[in-house]
Amino acid sequence: MNPALKADRRNAGWDLRQGPKNYAVLVAAQIASGILSFAAVWLATRMLGSSGYGGVVAIIAASQAIGQLAVNWTVVSLSRFGVQEFVETGRLAKAFWTRFWIFVPNVLLVIAASPLWLPPLSALLKLPPRAYFFVVGHFLANALWVHIQQGLQGAKLLRLQGSLLTLERLLVLLIVVACFISGDASFLKITLAYIVAPLGASTAGLWALRRLVFPVSGVDRALLPKMLKFSLPILPASLVGYMATNYLDAFFITHYISGAALGVYAVAYLISGTTLQLPLLVGAVLMPLFITLQNDGTDERAQRFMLNVLPLLTLLWGTACALIAAFGGLLFPRVFGEQFRGLGELMWPLMTAAALAGPVLMGYAPFSNSKSVTYIAMVGAIASAVTNVLLNFLLISRFGLVGCAWATTVAFAVNTVTVVALVHWRLLPARSWLLQALVPVVVGSVCASVYAVSIGGLAVTLLLSGLLAMLYRKSVISGFRMLRNFQRSRSEVSATV
């Protein structure tokens, strides 16, 4: 790595100069990853059907359950303190290896306890005993890959991270294609693709980080308590927050409906989750900037973004989600075939959930994490989880998959309102119109679902968005002006850092 380029990457001016390019590359990588993912899922569903693909989803759900509950609660601390270490020293070794040595005992404990949790978990998801190895294999591969990804974020190698995510999806597709060509496909062989692919991407990522993290070091005693203090509120958030995810939904769907229904829901959630990567990438770009600005004593720039730009982005994001819901509900059932005809009615609630999650991912999560105020995420996760579990019990048995989708939407809404309220109470005393910016897509979604008129829901969303933009026109103009003058702001920061 060029020392001059590495030194430049350590200041806020670099984040601002490279921010648009980083985001553009990440979006391009996400589009490519999305295309590859849809191709792999389409081919897998053609070979396995909705029931067979439901088995793949069930294995991944079991793996993700254990990963989120037992291991991933410390992973965000790697990017949080990794960025700080990189900005201050140009290295990543302390954060990388300290989190690694926290991570390893958790993994060993999970594996040692697998005879206790694997059989009942597999029984809930209706998995055969021969799937046990694949659950553990996916858990290990995914846990390592998540660690490497956070290391890449800590070193501000966001474009490389995006490229490696695309590589992972490409490897999945290639293995699925190999199964198709051989004519010998099963849900276990398709699952193997989701184990091998992250291992390949992890190897490439570790090689890219080698000069920043090697030689291997032990636990940094000064950093360890900081990482644990940062992560401890995330532990209950992970334990309880899992109950607000699609992986918990998998348990309810297989119990109340069927494995085939889980396959349909998983495809709809994949569409929603893929689009949700766009605001998530905004947050990935912003958190290193927020941390760097905080270190440089120019934190007011982050506050101006939260108060002036984020509401505008939220309104635009909600409109985009409504467009995807309206036209995707017509397109995707035709793409995936007759067994997936129920996709259309799931699109509006799940895309509304994506719209509701947008402002948290784009701003509130990176802003609060940059200040190590992680209890906010914990409170939001608890409120969301309680809502999702309760509504799953009430709605799935009565309304089926649509009830599950709306339970997810309401849970996301509860999380967003909770996080926004706490951030403004604790970190941002000034008020904004962000929550109002979410109203158009929510009202449009309700209209589309109640009256079964998708285009009508889109029309309502667009009309309300236009009225809201006029009502808050001064703020909208200010937000657009800040985005338009972004080049000048970048130059100013470069001159002052």
Q: Which of 232, 251, 283 is the last residue of a domain?
A: 232
CA atoms within 13 A on the CB side of 29: 20
pLDDT at 494: 46
Q: Is the peptide bond before 440 cis (omega within 30 degrees of 0)?
A: no
Per-residue pLDDT tens over the stretch 432-447: 899 999 999 999 999 9
Phi-psi region of 218 (alpha: psi -120 to 50; beta: other; left: phi over 0): beta
Inform me whether the pLDDT recorded for 486 exceeds 70: no
Residue pair 420/366 in contact (Cβ under 8 Å)? The answer is no
In angstroms, the CA 495 to CA 149 distance is 31
pLDDT at 497: 42
Say yes or no: 249 and 214 in one domain. Answer: no
User: Residue 209: which pLDDT band, with cuts at 50, 70 and 90?
Assistant: very high
Q: Report the percentage of the chain scoring pLDDT > 90.
A: 41
Inform me whether the pLDDT recorded for 193 exceeds 90: yes
Say yes or no: 32 and 122 in one domain. Answer: yes
Residues 6+ apart with CB under 8 A from 94: 81, 85, 217, 220, 223
pLDDT at 11: 76
Say yes or no: 252 and 211 in one domain. Answer: no
Say yes or no: 217 and 338 in one domain. Answer: no
pLDDT at 172: 95
Phi-psi region of 337 (alpha: psi -120 to 50; beta: other; left: phi over 0): left
Inform me whether the pLDDT recorded for 359 exceeds 90: yes
pLDDT average, residue stretch 442-470: 91
pLDDT at 362: 92
Nearest to 58 by CA among 239, 269, 262: 262
Best-predicted range by mean pLDDT (271-275, 314-318, 346-350, 481-485): 314-318
pLDDT average, residue stretch 61-68: 82
Q: Which of 232, 260, 295 is the last residue of a domain?
A: 232
Inform me whether the pLDDT recorded for 356 exceeds 90: yes
Position with higher pLDDT, 119 vs 8: 119
Say yes or no: 399 and 461 in one domain. Answer: yes
Say yes or no: 208 and 100 in one domain. Answer: yes
Position with higher pLDDT, 19 vs 232: 232
Q: Report the percentage of the chain scoring pLDDT > 70.
A: 91
Q: Which residue has the tokens 């992970």?
A: 238
pLDDT average, residue stretch 191-199: 95
Per-residue pLDDT tens over the stretch 47-62: 988 778 888 888 988 8
Say yes or no: 421 and 313 in one domain. Answer: yes
Instruction: Give the domain extent around 342.
Output: 238-497
Say yes or no: 192 and 291 in one domain. Answer: no
Nearest to 153 by CA among 208, 235, 217: 208
Instruction: Please calculate the CA angle 173-320-382 and round it to the nearest 5 degrees.
Output: 80
Which pTM does this prediction carry?
0.71
Say yes or no: 226 and 245 in one domain. Answer: no
Say yes or no: 335 and 480 in one domain. Answer: yes
Per-residue pLDDT tens over the stretch 363-403: 999 999 888 888 888 889 888 888 988 998 888 888 888 88
Q: Which of 202, 232, 262 is the last residue of a domain?
A: 232
Per-residue pLDDT tens over the stretch 71-97: 888 888 999 899 989 988 999 999 999
Inform me whether the pLDDT recorded for 133 exceeds 50: yes
Say yes or no: 222 and 353 in one domain. Answer: no
**Count of structural domains within the chain:** 2
pLDDT at 330: 77
Say yes or no: 439 and 344 in one domain. Answer: yes
pLDDT at 248: 66
pLDDT at 334: 74
In angstroms, the CA 95 to CA 121 distance is 33
pLDDT average, residue stretch 157-184: 92
Inform me whether the pLDDT recorded for 489 exceeds 70: no
Nearest to 93 by CA among 180, 202, 217: 217
The lowest-confidence range among 320-324, 325-329, 418-422 is 325-329
pLDDT at 478: 82
pLDDT at 2: 52
pLDDT at 460: 94
User: Residue 14: which pLDDT band, with cuts at 50, 70 and 90?
Assistant: confident
Instruction: Please give the radius of gyration of the chain, using alpha carbons only, rounded to the nearest integer.
Output: 22
pLDDT at 342: 67
Inform me whether the pLDDT recorded for 287 exceeds 90: no
User: Residue 496: which pLDDT band, with cuts at 50, 70 and 90?
Assistant: very low
Best-predicted range by mean pLDDT (16-30, 336-350, 461-475): 461-475
User: Residue 485: which pLDDT band, with cuts at 50, 70 and 90?
Assistant: low
Mean pLDDT score across all residues of the chain? 85
pLDDT at 488: 53
pLDDT at 237: 67
